[in-house]
Chain A
Amino acid sequence: MIWHPLTWAFWVAAATGGLLYATGAVQAVDVMLNWTPAHADIDQLRRERHAESAALLGHWALGFLTAAALLGLVGVALVWHRMVPGAMCGTGVLQAMGTDGSRAMIFWGVSLLILHGWRVLDGLDVQRPQGVLTRTGARLMISAAPFFLLAVFYSWQALMRVETVPTVSCCAAVYDRVLSGASESAALKSLAAICLWFSLAGGAALLALMVLKIRFPDRGSGAMPAIIAVLWSFAATVALKQVGSAYYYQVLSHPCPWCLFLPDYYGAGFFIFGGVAVVVMESIAIWLADRTRRRYPVLAGPAGKRIQRSAWGIVTAMIGFTMLALGPAIAWRLRTGVWLNGSP
């Protein structure tokens, strides 16, 4: 796999994004340590330039690192399984990568989430010249560094492990999980049911909260939607994997989230999990904007607008997710008169 051109494309994107991020983070260190907006000395002027460069570099780095993460995702979901003996989809690739693959994905996600949070704060900070969020923004930008380094480290480990991997059987991995859980099938079933109902109820609650946020962005807590959104994302993922995906595969039980990314299912996984990612990211944006609104009245106006924008984003993403996740199930029910498990 190390010779696969997509692997090189991934590393080029990650290295270029990493270079931009490192350049920006170095400048942000100076801003974080010595930012003194009341002064007009040469050092502060230099820091002002650094803050501006760091902001530009951060935005570009976020774009490049997102591109790298997407290339990695495309590799795992669509491309690299053809290089792994026995792999049919991303499950086989992750199986070949061992725990390093999952760790790499988690750290990539956390890094991008932190940089997204920084982007939200920077977007608010730039609205007013007082620069009240400049130091916080610099701190947040730098705090992504360890996660990014870990993401790169585990990506390297994972890709190197695949080079010497024996034959895997990703379908077996999926079915083994089903079979090993057979004894606990009742518990599994009830977990799936709980997740399904929580995802429906949580989704409805989140939608209602977002409608309120659009109408009254200056009222209510920002933490509540973020907590609900994060919990909802877990529940929705489990419910989709255990229940919703079956209507895509049209088999009774094939709880594999990675098969959804394959062209056989029109790459639906990209859109479905993309919707979940948008909900989580925008809910964090709401939380950050709400905190900013409360702490810095000078930014109340821009923060309110950001909350409204994020709320619209969440509503759109949730509608898209619901249509894609439940659409095939409803179509099946309408066509056959029963659900896939036979219940009317």
Chain B
Amino acid sequence: MMPGTRYPPMVIWAARDIQRHCGRSMLLFACLASLVFLTAMALLFSQALDATWERLMDQAPDLVVRRIDGGGWAPLPVDVAMACAKKIPGVIDPTPRLWGVVPGPEGPVTVVASIAVVPESMLKGIPPPSAGQAVVGQGVARALSGGRLSLGSNHSVTVSVIHTFPADTGLATHDLVWMTPDDARPLLGLVPGQASDLAVHLFRREEERAIQADLAAAFPWPVRITDRSTSALNHHTRAVRSGGIAVVAGIPALLALLLIITGTVVDNTARQAYWGLLKSMGWTTADMVRLQVSRAMIVGIPAVVLGLASAYAAVFYPPAAGITAFWVTGGQHLPALTLVSSGAAMVMIEIAAMVGLPFLAAVFLTTLRAADGSPWTLLQADPWN
């Protein structure tokens, strides 16, 4: 094939037109790429946060049953609670949990103790803590001095840290102190035979709401039941809301800037004579729109791709990801995020709609305004007269 024949002539001519007005095209490219970068970064961040939450929340128990009394939360007798929960059809695998929040050296930490034995396949080299020992998350490990950790205020417990949870488990273990039940109980104010609460899994997750009333009635004391889907909904709502707020806060101003720049680039009165000349040679207004849209695409597609790729790097690649997290969360440390392909596709669709459509409309409207005249009138705007 002869070189050049693989592209439609209109597209080649659009590229030639870009060459003729290189500075303006570069300005448009920069403006569009930065607009896409800012929009996509906020959207990708919220999408990734949402995907991460969803993935992790999928592992959470369907229901958590806590005993309440006049003073607030009360310890749960394990045997009674297990027996009551097992009576309800659809409940599988009720598990008492020993956990609580206690003051650590640099703020609160989450103390957990596993009553059951953690399977070897999970541990992957992490030694389970013995009495007086603890395994801690990355966030807690940073505050350690001399490998010992003092927790609690009234009933202080000091344990030696024998291991740190790997960084790739940070989404679950960042603030964790894992110790034996015997070490944990004094800290949490529990006696043997008591648990903090009861985690319940269901045979059918869809029954999450329906089963709550039966479950609550089965216990001999008042209980408060929280469900997984409410937490998941809260997380999801926060993620998309914060993404939406970021978009709403920054985008209109940038969009206005884009429209102005597009208008300046496309609608140049000095080009009116050019449009008139083209019309006198048989170009139609639709041809000119096609030319300008091709031109906008040649500049716009690489700009959009560059903006998206930069946003992707800014969200997922350290150290850029750290800067992004610092910027968008106001200094919170965020562990590595994950993304699902459907989430990425949704971000692409949203970017196309929020940036691509107004950009194309601006190109179209300004071209139409400039070229929609009689060819003779347009020709008169020219220096050759």
Contacts and interface: CB of A to CB of B under 8 A. Distances in A.
Interface stretch (B71-79, B215-223, B241-249, B315-323): B241-249
A16 B354 CA distance: 10
B209 interface: yes
Contacts of B368: 53, 56-57
A5 B46 contact: yes
Contact of A13 (B206, B209, B353): B353
B240 A16 contact: no
Contacts of A82: 233, 236
Interface in A151-184: 167, 169, 171
A10 B353 contact: yes
Nearest to B361: A16
A205 interface: no
Interface residues of B, number: 36
A326 B141 CA distance: 60
Contact of A49 (B353, B358, B365, B374): B374
B267 to A, nearest CB: 15
A64 B46 contact: no
B353 A67 contact: yes
B350 interface: yes
Nearest to B245: A3
A16 B248 contact: no
Nearest to A46: B374
B286 interface: yes
A7 B353 contact: no
B43 to A, nearest CB: 5
A304 to B, nearest CB: 24
B236 A9 contact: no
A49 B373 CA distance: 7
Contacts of B241: 3-4
B382 interface: no
Interface string B336-356: 000000100010011001100
A263 B353 contact: no
Contacts of B353: 9-10, 12-13, 67, 71
A19 interface: yes
A5 B342 CA distance: 15
Given A6-B346, A45-B374, A83 B240 contact: yes
Interface in A19-33: 19-20, 23
Given A3-B241, A5-B243, A9-B349, A171 B206 contact: yes
B285 A263 contact: no
A9 B368 CA distance: 25
A3 B244 contact: yes
A79 B350 CA distance: 12
B280 interface: no
B182 interface: no
B372 interface: yes
Nearest to B242: A3
Interface in B178-228: 206, 209
B350 A5 contact: yes
Contacts of A263: 342
A8 interface: yes
B349 A3 contact: no
Given A5-B243, A49-B374, A60 B364 contact: yes
A45 B346 CA distance: 46
Contacts of B84: none
Nearest to B234: A85
Contact of A5 (B43, B209, B361, B374): B43
Given A45-B374, A263-B342, A20 B289 contact: no
Contacts of A71: 349, 353
A49 B377 CA distance: 13
Contacts of B229: 85
B158 interface: no
Contact of B346 (A7, A49, A79, A167): A79
B244 A53 contact: no
A21 B127 CA distance: 68
Interface in B282-303: 285-286, 289
A193 interface: no
Nearest to A50: B372
B156 interface: no
B305 interface: no
Given A71-B353, A85-B233, A3 B374 contact: no
A77 to B, nearest CB: 13
B236 A64 contact: no
A3 B346 contact: no
A125 to B, nearest CB: 14
Contact of A8 (B286, B354, B361, B372): B354
A16 B236 CA distance: 28
Nearest to A263: B342
A264 to B, nearest CB: 12
A8 B247 contact: yes
A4 B346 CA distance: 12
B349 A83 contact: no
A8 B358 contact: no
A237 to B, nearest CB: 26
Nearest to B373: A49
A256 B224 CA distance: 34
B237 interface: yes
Contact of B361 (A4, A10, A20): A20
Interface in A59-117: 60, 64, 67, 71, 74, 79, 82-83, 85-86, 88
Interface of A: 2-10, 12-13, 16-17, 19-20, 23, 45, 49, 52-53, 56-57, 60, 64, 67, 71, 74, 79, 82-83, 85-86, 88, 167, 169, 171, 263
Given A4-B244, A12-B358, 6 more contacts: A5-B247, A9-B354, A20-B365, A82-B233, A83-B236, A85-B233
22 contacts: A3-B240, A3-B243, A3-B248, A4-B240, A5-B244, A5-B354, A6-B350, A8-B244, A8-B247, A12-B353, A12-B354, A13-B353, A13-B357, A16-B361, A20-B365, A53-B285, A56-B368, A57-B368, A60-B364, A83-B236, A83-B237, A86-B209
Lowest 10 CB-CB distances: which A-B pairs, in order? Answer: A3-B244, A9-B353, A3-B241, A9-B350, A16-B361, A4-B240, A13-B353, A5-B350, A12-B354, A16-B357
